[in-house]
Amino acid sequence: MATGRTHRPATRSRGIPEATVARLPLYLRALTALSERSVPTVSSEELAAAAGVNSAKLRKDFSYLGSYGTRGVGYDVEYLVYQISRELGLTQDWPVVIVGIGNLGAALANYGGFASRGFRVAALIDADPSMAGKPVAGIPVQHTDDLEAIIEENGVSIGVIATPAGAAQQVCDRLVAAGVTSILNFAPTVLSVPDGVDVRKVDLSIELQILAFHEQRKAGEEAPGEGGADTTPPAAPPAAAVRRRGEESEQGPDGDVPAVMPA
Amino acid sequence: MATGRTHRPATRSRGIPEATVARLPLYLRALTALSERSVPTVSSEELAAAAGVNSAKLRKDFSYLGSYGTRGVGYDVEYLVYQISRELGLTQDWPVVIVGIGNLGAALANYGGFASRGFRVAALIDADPSMAGKPVAGIPVQHTDDLEAIIEENGVSIGVIATPAGAAQQVCDRLVAAGVTSILNFAPTVLSVPDGVDVRKVDLSIELQILAFHEQRKAGEEAPGEGGADTTPPAAPPAAAVRRRGEESEQGPDGDVPAVMPA
DNA sequence: CCGTCTTTGTGCACACGTTCACAAAGACAT
DNA sequence: ATGTCTTTGTGAACGTGTGCACAAAGACGG
């Protein structure tokens, strides 16, 4: 039970809200593009459009960083690029390791956007001995046995897990034990980590399921009277669990999908 | 300016909160694992632990679906699997196309978790003529020219974009024009889509930058007096933009990083 | 049939995030 | 200098999400 926390209540450390932090990279990318086109300044309106957000939100986000920006003019692109980079910690180099060099791991290793912004692939690690030494994206794959040594030697604090689900927790534990305190998890599993370790997950399957939900919603609203069960009615509920559905006063008052009553 | 909406305010269609929808796949995965182990029932406490969330949150999430579950006992695993699957629209098959068969696209095509839950890779599409016909993950790659025909023939409503950033918007436009209404975007760009089209993005670079932020935060708190600028002080702000920083009454009252004063 | 014990379902309070709308700050022209 | 005009920075209102804590529901034993 007390193995480790999975949720992260400690995020609200100081100052910048988590939602804002998550948008900073977006702003940074838009600003970088402007910088490459030698645009000297942008208004919040323009930048917001480029980043795909609301201009008020953008201004509030920036207000957490400080009062950069000039009223009546806008923001100095170069200056803002630097400020956001600094805030995100991109003025220094972050060595990362990728564990699990299958299809996905290899794709990640080859991904250009990695190195572009302060991140450097320090090592590729795989459990398959036959992969050892084989270069992927110009970097020789190393064996899992050396994981701890690699982490320590390179001062790695960010690890990327691209292993099968079954191996993820074990790899995670070893990474954490070796000193990694931030993990990006591509394996479809919930990772347990001790306090102080950040985990972010990227899960293709989950994203698709969320899309499917909305997709179904759209289809059901256009063509009503179709969104019922179309496969075999499933196992019956334990006893008399199927009863109300939107009865208390909550929920929408329109023709809802009735709870499937089997048996 | 009025090219298309990027934010999605239309999500709150009816009933189930977006945050809950995003967690349903998590519950479903945990439940499926239990189902395979032939566990008949789970309590909210157990299931919450398996899904890495708070049990109160889980119960509230389920309460939006209806009153499945038996007090004093818990939830019937099989029944709940079905209910969530149905709610997510996984009782039907969703044909998807993957556009851009590079390293990442190929990895996605090979990803097993795809087919496992209602999703079927209907086609792989790439702009490179030399790839046409070449099988990836057992599916022959087709050329971009046939995109519209493929979408229509297969009734595809979900598209995955794994192209380089430069091509993403163009591909997106074609997908949408051909009838796709949900897009999963792996390209590091903001996509503009008309109302009614859902876009979810997966961006490795952004995730890493968020981790870097927290990583820097951790390092800065442990060893104070180190987290300053360590690269060249950047371009000067436009005029006199650098002034206050946490002066109004907001922000943490401790020794903050002073705004770098260049020149 | 009644009492006890477990676990759900949810009202309520609070925290977080978003958006509006406007005063204040400065650029720029005259 | 002074006035006008643009755009920032932010107070305040609102909406969404989270977590506590407890009443109600039902299983189960006697």
Q: Which CATH code for domain A12-88?
A: 1.10.10.10
Nucleic strand D within 7 A of Cβ A8: no
Over residues B181-236, the pLDDT tens digits come to 999 999 999 999 999 999 999 999 999 999 999 999 998 766 554 444 444 545 54
Q: Which fold has domain B94-205?
A: Rossmann fold (3.40.50)
Q: Are strands B198-201 and B182-185 parallel, antiparallel or unpaired?
A: parallel
Cα(A236)–Cα(A234) distance, integer angstroms: 6
Domain locations in chain B as residue ranges: 12-88, 94-205
Per-residue pLDDT, B12: 35
The per-residue pLDDT for A219 is 87
Closest CA to B199 of B20, B24, B4: B4
Non-local CB neighbours of B92 within 8 Å, separated by 6+ positions: A216, A230, B118
Within an 8 Å CB–CB cutoff, is residue B58 touching chain A?
Answer: no
Give me the residues paired with residue B183 across strands: B159, B199
Distance to chain A for B100, nearest Cα, Å = 13
Per-residue pLDDT tens digits for B28-86? 999 999 999 999 999 999 999 999 999 999 999 999 999 999 999 999 999 999 999 99
pLDDT digits (tens, 9 = 90+) for B158-183: 999 999 999 999 999 999 999 999 99
* Structure tokens given for B33: 């694992």
Contact between the CB of A73 and strand D at under 7 Å? yes
Q: Label residue A251 exposed, middle or buried (CB < 10 Å: 0-12, 13-18, 19+).
A: middle
Q: Which residues of chain A have pLDDT under 50?
A: 1-13, 225-231, 233, 236, 238-263
Nearest-nucleotide field for A239 (CA, C1'):
D26
Tell whether residue B113 is among the known ligand binding residues.
Answer: no
Per the prediction, chain B carries an average pLDDT of 84
Query: Which residues from chain B sit within 8 angstroms of residue A69, using beta carbons?
Result: 241
Whether B12-88 shares its CATH topology with B94-205 is answered no
Tell me what pLDDT residue B222 has: 64
Q: Can you tell me which residue has its alpha carbon closest to the C1' of nucleotide C7?
A: B72
Pairs of residues, one from chain A and one from chain B, whose beta carbons lie less than 8 Å apart: 296
Is B159 in the A-facing interface, judged by CB distances under 8 Å? Answer: no
Please report the pLDDT score of residue B115 as a whole number: 74
Asked if the C-beta of A25 comes within 8 angstroms of chain B's C-beta atoms, the answer is yes
Measured torsion, CA atoms of residues A34, A36, A38, A42, in degrees rounded to the nearest 10: 10
Summarize the confidence of residues B138-143 as an average pLDDT.
Answer: 98
pLDDT score of B238: 47
Nearest-Cα distance to chain B for A123, in Å, is 16
Cα–Cα distances (Å) from B138 to B90, B111, B123, B149, in that order, read 24, 12, 11, 21
